[in-house]
Amino acid sequence: MHETRVTIDDTDKRLLSLLQRNAHLTAQELGEELNLSASQAGRRRQRLEAEGLITSYAARLNPSRLGLAVQAFVQVQMARHGAETTAAFGRLTALQPEIVSAWTLTGEADYLLRVYCESLADLNRLIHQVLLAHPAVSRVQSQIVMDQFKPDAPLPT
């Protein structure tokens, strides 16, 4: 999980910040913002991609416009641990499109899942028929998001 840190300069940091806010910026636009030529800005972006600092480009979608009215965080506690159990649970979460991200935790819960569902009934189905049905899951606790007052933000650079 621990990767070697890549050293970047202030211009790289500014470039990363700009791309996190708008991945559609062209090399010309980046160059104008960074006081570089378009080719210099393009080469910097390519280097940052090659070094693994930029891992992908994606569009942020509006969940409510897609009919995803319920966002929740679900904590999962396992009854058993081990490589096989971990792999099986990872496969289970990968197959559920409602689970948009998952983390391994320290503390009482073993996993934290971020989920989006169309309804409370769909969340209930996910918890009872999918997660609690897994033989190694002992406990599930969910927190339904009432409002997200700070949207997912870019990483600090």
9: pLDDT strictly greater than 60: yes
Helix 27-34 and helix 38-50, axial crossing angle in degrees, nearest 10: 100
Please state whether beta strands 137-144 and 111-117 pair in parallel, antiparallel, or not at all (unpaired): unpaired
Average pLDDT, the chain: 95
Q: Which residue is it, tokens 């393009």?
A: 42
Rounded CA separation 44/7 (Å) = 13
69 has a pLDDT exceeding 80: yes
E strand or H helix at 134? none
Which band of pLDDT confidence, cut at 50, 70 and 90, is reported for residue 134?
very high
Q: Which two structure tokens, joined as six digits, stand for 120?
A: 């409370």
114 vs 58, more confident: 114
Residue 1 has pLDDT above 70, yes or no: no
What mean pLDDT is predicted for residues 125-152?
96
Contact criterion met (CB below 8 Å) for 55 and 48: no
Dihedral sign for Cα atoms in the order 23, 29, 31, 37: positive
CB 148 within 8 A of CB 105: no
Average pLDDT for 116-125 = 98
Residue 137 predicted with pLDDT over 70: yes
19, burial (CB in 10 Å: exposed 0-12, middle 13-18, buried 19+): buried
The candidate with the shortest Cα–Cα distance to 141, out of 76, 96, 81, is: 76
Cα of first residue to Cα of last residue in the chain, in angstroms, is 20
Residue 157 has pLDDT above 90, yes or no: no
90-111 average pLDDT score: 96
Q: 54 and 48 in contact (C-beta within 8 Å)?
A: yes
The type of residue at 71 is Q
- What is the per-residue pLDDT across 82-98, written as a single tens digit (0 to 9) for each? 999 999 999 999 999 99
